Structure 1
Amino acid sequence: MAITFYTSRVILETLGAEDYGLYNVIGGIIAMFGLINSSMSTATQRFLTFETGRNDTVRMRKIFSVSLIIHLLIAIIIIILGETVGLWFFWHKMNIPEVRLDAAMWVYQMSILSAVIMIISVPYNAAIIAHEKMNAFAYISILDVSLRLLSVYILLLFEIDKLKLYAVLMLLTQLLLRIIYGLYCKKNFVETHGRMYWDHSLFKEMLSFASWSIWGNCASLFCTQGLNILLNIFFSPTVNAARALAVQVQNGISLFSSNLQSAINPQITKSYATGNFAYMHQLIYYSSKLSFLLLWIIILPIFLNTDAILHIWLKEVPEHSSTFIRIILITMLIEVLSNPFSTTVSATGKIRTYQTIIGGIMMTTLPASYIVLKLGALPESVFNVSLCVSFISYLVRFYFIQKYVNIDTINYLHKVIFKLIPTLIISSIMGYMLSHIFTESTIAVIISSSIYIIISSITAYLIGLEKEEKQFIRNKIFFKLKLIRHD
């Protein structure tokens, strides 16, 4: 996360706000074409994890082989769409300064190639998650950000078009990571090597599952890349730069909660596969609450020190950045509560109605945002619309897991919501009261942020956790201290 924030600062400074915004909005076009791939990724991960829980090696071989073939076909489709519909949108709808058209087209083509590489990597990534080899993700993630840091250094060395060079470096990073993921899987997972299998019935089954995921993923993309393009149509690329920075903050912070969720997701699917519903319910409670608390400990100091942090982090802060970040942080807190709900529904395989309704709700974000912008609203309005839609989606998602896996509403409220609300209120009030004491200097930000983290951590421990959870944390701390003393 630290490297990500540092590289974002240097890249913004090196490329400039306009080129930085162009890079992100152009990448958004390709991401929208990756809609089918995102759906197949969900299907591949679900099917592999389900069969891993049942320890069916033959079925796992077939699933991996069929998914690899499907993703190769998707890569071809993305290239065709990118070079036809995507090019039309690029030339006729994008707001790109004429002097940067050549560089923007270069970025566009590099983005297509990067998308193709990521698509082919999906079955391998799904295999790692299914086998719960999170240490592999940890090491490869460190390599990923290290390569990005190296890319920033290379940007500073060469006096050529920085935007073109950055696009090429990001492509090479994706290619190297793809090779590493493939080699790791070939070495550790039996289903990823050997002869290719073809199973027509499995092909139809996976496509059927993915077809319903397409609607939900389409809605998700409309809430992200669609809004990015909408902001580009109504405003200048510098607004896209502000949004890109807000998303960088979102991605960096969400690592804490998403990594926890990634570790729990396979267990949710496997517990459903083996019929252990009581354990699955506990996983839903724990992942919702612990992900929220972990996220809140990081968010509170950033929320209270947003302006100061931005001026320390960046030499030139794009307009609207501070407001974008604060609204996105609130939205993240709502979304992290519902993350285990989607995994649970996928585990059941009953996604048709779920994806149709949730996708329909999420789809309203884009037309609603278009209307408010057409009426003359500020760029911040689209983030407020997204926040409201996320809250409604959370309530509807809970209704579905209550229906599909018989989760107890009173139990969920008692174990999750009634623990989080007082934690949130008390730590917020204490932090806000102390925020008036500090200035915006670097030292003051470090001190105040440390105090806010301590406040949110203590309130989370005392109020947010159950007795057995507190005991677990104490045991872990004492165990680590013993290891340190022994060393």
Structure 2
Amino acid sequence: MHRNRKIATNTAFLYVRMLVVMGTSLYTVRVVFHALGVQDFGIYGVAAALVTLLAFLNATMSQASQRFLSLDIGNGDLLNLGKTFNAILAIHLVIAIAVVAAALSAGSWFLNEKMAIPHDRIASANLAYQFAAISGGLMIVQTPYSALIVAHEKMWFFSLVSLLEAGLRLFIAWAVANASGDRLFYYSMLMCGSALAVLIAYVCFARLSFAEARIRPHREQSVYRALTAFITWSFIGNLAGAARTQGVNLLLNVFFGPVANAAHGIMTQAQTATNNFANSFQMALNPQIYQRHAKGEYGEMRDLVIMGSKLNFILLLIIVVPVLHATPYILEAWLSTPPPMAVDFIRWMLVALMIDSISQPLITAAMATGKIRAYQLIVGGTIILSVPLSYAAFRLGYDATAFLYVITAISLVALLLRLLFLRNLLGFPLSRFVLQVLLPATAISAAMLATSLLYTHVFGEVRSLFDFAQASSFLAVGSLSSALVLGLSRSERRHLFSTIGKRFYK
């Protein structure tokens, strides 16, 4: 019960963070989009995409950091915890230097020689790219500190820094909107300054709060070997994830130009906002999955993964269904003149995210085992097919949305592959997962699709704020009702209502 209470408390902190970050993100994107214009907004998006693609190894290290730090905390091994943190920090510093060097050399050549950027914006694009490269390096160095804070389940501070970052982005949006001169240059410079401020906040808190955050270099080979083995195989999965998002963005530039990148940029901002919501619960769940594996509590770990997959899907569904229903209106209210293709991009992105939300606890469970060589080769190899398949679709003359059909199909295949691997790694009960997660998720989705179509047939399209409020309220309540009836078992409903009753009458 104590663990469940901690998950609930941390989730509450993270949801407050999510609501503020989502609201400010949507507002700042609107301001920055109009301040920069479609062309410069697309240029910054593709410049940042190049750096993100080069920095994909950082995602591998972030995963490794979470796993090894959480396992040491779960085992109560404080001596090894300090050694693990310092090894992780040393590796991150090397990665940061390598990524920035690669970005400023090979990446700069690709930007200037291969990207479709108007000649009069080449100089500004290069400056934006250089600031984005430095920002990427700062974010890499930040990772060990943020991972340590999350592993200690100090979600209140993690949420506080996110609120600081949201405030900085509001200031940046205001400054860029009121700037004269090259706004793309100012925006890139201020975003780099924001990354530096966030890094300083994480470093200061970690060093003041945790003894293991003090820099004590060592050469204990066993720690570095364990990290290196995990990183080597995680590399493939994170390369696949980076390629699926940013690699495809580069293809969009080559085939369809900066306007398609602008639509992708809007989609990415919406994806980030949605992911902030989806990850709020998952971030609170991850340390508990790692720690239960460290303690050998495999039955509880499996229960937590199944519960997490179901709740991830249900919590995201309540937000996604109203957005899917009213995407054209939301984009017009948000951006006034959204880029072409943005509606289709966002809708298919949300469908893929719903599938991925089920997979997230499965990924954490697989990482907890440490036996990930075959897992990463097969699952990561499947995900990276998004790039050649999207390229083939574009070459065959399909429109820009074709890459999202590819991503959605591959998300389904990857979910099934993860389940098969977990059966072998942990004796994961596939039939129970199908009955308790996949079948209810399918039933709820079908019910809400029918409800959305029926609502449109009766009330028409969303054309005003009143229409949006009415439709969103109806569909959110419908999603919650469907989740309660179709998603939860009788015992789960009884336990939920009992808990709510005790809280209400307390």
Superposition TM-score tier, normalisation by shorter sequence: over 0.9
The one-letter amino acid paired with 1:453 is A
416-425 vs 242-251, greater mean Cα deviation:
416-425
CA shift, 1:477, in A, is: 4.3
Q: TM-score, normalised to structure 2's length?
A: 0.93
CA shift, 1:468, in A, is: 4.6
Aligned runs of 1:50-449 on 2, under 5 Å? 50-193=71-214, 195-436=216-457, 437-438=459-460, 439-449=462-472
> Could you say which residue in structure 2 is the equivalent of 1:451?
474
Corresponding position: 1:470 with 2:493: yes
Q: Determine what percentage of the aligned residue pairs are the same residue.
A: 33
Give the direction of change, closer, same or farther, for the CA distance of 1:171–1:468 in structure 2 (3 Å limit).
Answer: farther
Counterpart secondary structure, 1:95: coil
Counterpart secondary structure, 1:378: coil
The one-letter amino acid paired with 2:334 is W
- Does the 8 Å contact 1:254/1:295 carry over to 2? no
- Alignment deviations for residues 314-346 of structure 1 (CA, whole Å, 9 cap, x no partner): 111100011111111110111111111111111
Measure the CA separation in 1 of the matches of 2:139 and 2:449. Answer: 40
413-422 vs 316-325, greater mean Cα deviation:
413-422
Counterpart secondary structure, 1:400: helix
- Does the 8 Å contact 1:62/1:198 carry over to 2? no
Counterpart secondary structure, 1:84: helix
- Alignment deviations for residues 69-126 of structure 1 (CA, whole Å, 9 cap, x no partner): 1111111111221122112111111111111111101111101110111111111011
> Of 12, 26, 38, which aligns to 1:17?
38
- Alignment deviations for residues 396-436 of structure 1 (CA, whole Å, 9 cap, x no partner): 11100111000111111121122222222222212221123
The one-letter amino acid paired with 1:445 is F
Counterpart secondary structure, 2:438: helix
CA shift, 1:190, in A, is: 1.8
212-221 vs 461-470, greater mean Cα deviation:
461-470
- Does the 8 Å contact 2:332/2:338 carry over to 1? yes
- Does the 8 Å contact 2:32/2:177 carry over to 1? no
- Alignment deviations for residues 238-297 of structure 1 (CA, whole Å, 9 cap, x no partner): 111111111211111222221111111111111111110110011111110000001111
- Does the 8 Å contact 2:419/2:428 carry over to 1? no
421-430 vs 205-214, greater mean Cα deviation:
421-430
Measure the CA separation in 2 of the matches of 1:37 and 1:459. Answer: 39
CA shift, 1:479, in A, is: 6.0
Counterpart secondary structure, 1:407: coil
Measure the CA separation in 2 of the matches of 1:242 and 1:195. Answer: 46
Corresponding position: 1:460 with 2:483: yes
- Does the 8 Å contact 1:257/1:295 carry over to 2? yes
Counterpart secondary structure, 2:463: coil
- Does the 8 Å contact 2:44/2:128 carry over to 1? yes
The one-letter amino acid paired with 2:225 is K
Gaps of 5+ in 1: none
Q: TM-score, normalised to structure 1's length?
A: 0.96
Measure the CA separation in 2 of the matches of 1:412 and 1:391. Answer: 15
CA shift, 1:481, in A, is: 4.9
Count of matched residue positions in the alignment of Structure 1 and Structure 2:
483
Give the direction of change, closer, same or farther, for the CA distance of 1:480–1:161 in structure 2 (3 Å limit).
Answer: farther
CA shift, 1:361, in A, is: 0.7
- Alignment deviations for residues 106-161 of structure 1 (CA, whole Å, 9 cap, x no partner): 11110111011111111101101211111222221122112111111111222121
- Does the 8 Å contact 1:28/1:229 carry over to 2? yes
- Does the 8 Å contact 1:435/1:448 carry over to 2? no
Measure the CA separation in 2 of the matches of 1:334 and 1:302. Answer: 16
Measure the CA separation in 2 of the matches of 1:253 and 1:76. Answer: 31
Measure the CA separation in 1 of the matches of 2:271 and 2:178. Answer: 29
- Does the 8 Å contact 1:21/1:237 carry over to 2? yes
Counterpart secondary structure, 2:339: coil
Give the direction of change, closer, same or farther, for the CA distance of 1:479–1:161 in structure 2 (3 Å limit).
Answer: farther
Give the direction of change, closer, same or farther, for the CA distance of 1:421–1:167 in structure 2 (3 Å limit).
Answer: same
- Does the 8 Å contact 2:278/2:312 carry over to 1? yes
Gaps of 5+ in 2: 1-21
